[in-house]
Structure 1
Amino acid sequence: MNDKLEHFVLEYDHESGTALLAMTEAGGSRIAEGGSLPYAVASGYEAESRAWESIEPFDDVTRAKLRFEKRCGRDYVPTGGKLYDDEFITLRWRRKDIADALENDWGNFGFPIPATEKNVERAMDQLGNHIDDTVYSQGWGVIHDHLDPNSFDLGVGHTVQAREFYEQVFECAGDYDCTVNIWPAVDGGGVHVSVCPVAHGGNDLAVYSVDADKIGDSAITVRDLEDVGCREVYVEDFTERPDEVRFFLRADADAYMFGSSLGKSLTVQYTGDEDIAPALREVRAYCKDAAEKRDPCLISAMAQASAAKSATAEGEAGGKKL
């Protein structure tokens, strides 16, 4: 062991020879962070080698404290048994619960196990080594399996079209090939084109508007959109900045037309050189033919009302984000 301080002792129990450690970095000047697992429970200190016989690392000081107290033979409940301010579910087992399981759940074990003090302690040791990680990992599964994503306000407005666009964007995360969506502008004067991801295998999103008179008979690729269209939105990484996607969908009335029966939307799987001009022309033609059947002012008002409703809901929630 070198002369730099690799840890310092937070607590030490002489009777059991167990210590609660905080691991350090930068020559012992600060507690380690992240993947370094900054806390540990250690035992069997050898003064000559200045080393511990066993060290069990933890990434959370509370979990380390629980294990330390258990090895010292003491009961310990964080916060005196009360919930933390941000907790709403907790689970606690008593020694009697373990004893009852050994004696009465013998169908699972194959035979009843005497609930002696030694057997209860041995069961607690085995559970303590595994239950924290199991509860954490399975807890995420419970969240994923029992929450209905369709029941939440996604903050994109209250239109099916905006939600469909939002969901489709995140389905593209990490795709190698691009997905190109084309749909009409409210006023029928052009089309919108979304490209996701723009960079193959990335998580970026771009939305362009293309005037109808810019869509001629020549071939148009995604790379040409920078010249023939106007970029409305660019999100470098929508997985890190979903708020930018949400803002676009709330604020832009034309997003209301995406996938709507009022408009025509086409999806093109784009691998690099495809000509998307035929799809642009098809949507453009539909725009012109259907313009008389739509009231742009009414559609804009509907989209704005939807955005206002979502903004009001956020305001009532206090605008809080975790």
Structure 2
Amino acid sequence: MAVTELLEQKLPVEPDLQHFLRFVLDAATQLGANPFSTARASLGLAADLRAAGAASGFPLPARLLLDQRALVVEWGEALNRFPLATLTQRPEMASIQQLRRQLRQSTAMSDPDLLLQRNVAMIRYLDETRARTEAELKKLQEALEQRQTELLESVRQAETDPLTGLLNRRAFDEHIDAAFKRTQRQKGESLSLVLLDLDFFKAVNDEYGHQFGDAYLNKMAHAMQESIRQDVDYAFRVGGDEFALLIFTDRRTACKKSQRILAMMDGKVSIGITAVSPQRYPDDTLKRFIKRADNALYAAKRGGRGQIVMDRCGVSTNKGCRVFCGEG
């Protein structure tokens, strides 16, 4: 059965849109659609029509159609469609024709004098509503920005170690996963993982007390933050005396940064380093990547602590960084 057009109207200003929506709701009710569900759907329809240019001065053409048992609104050159309601059965053609005549008469578009009066009222209404809308939008924008600020602060707190201000273990898991996947997609991008443990931290705590221990942890955090690019790299506290760096650079540069941290901590940190290397590890995984850094860290501890070990052996390296043939 052919699609039947019930109403066509252009929607240059807000009153046109409101009239069209009212006609749509009246038609849906007369055709037997559920008035409550149709009213809810009309809210989404109004938003879509406004987004397409209705009530902005642009004479957006909109049509109310009966397609089989579906009542739909169609608009614009692209013939976008919005499903408004589904009838239990298609009405008789005589009822449809009567409704068409009623709707077209109700638009009152044929009387030039009435049209002129209506246009004057529309312009005044548009000016008034524009001022109200701009004020309301400003309030909504301010509320949205405030909410976004609160959400960002909530996320920051959830990912931050409260003592040192570094990112925490939860953030480490998220960032290392994302960073590793990015290097797998973008071949050639460098990424180094540096794991750091404070040497004999428990003994420091036991001898000098927790207040001194907290200050010592903050000293470590400061050394790490001073050694990386704040807007590029990441510093984490992943455990009591365990720390990590994600540095978007090669292992040699990571070694230099680690040497700086070691010096600032008076040589009392054990450090293990690994890096993404498609040539050496063509089938690398995140689990293996972390394991290599772990192996290098434990090699540093077994070698006497207070030193830096890189996972790659058989190559020349910077002075001050040992190499270790860790598991690939």
Asked whether the two chains share a fold, i.e. TM above 0.5, the reply is: no
Relative to total residues, which structure has the larger helix share, 1 or 2?
Answer: 2
Which category of TM-score, normalised to the shorter sequence, fits these structures?
A: under 0.3
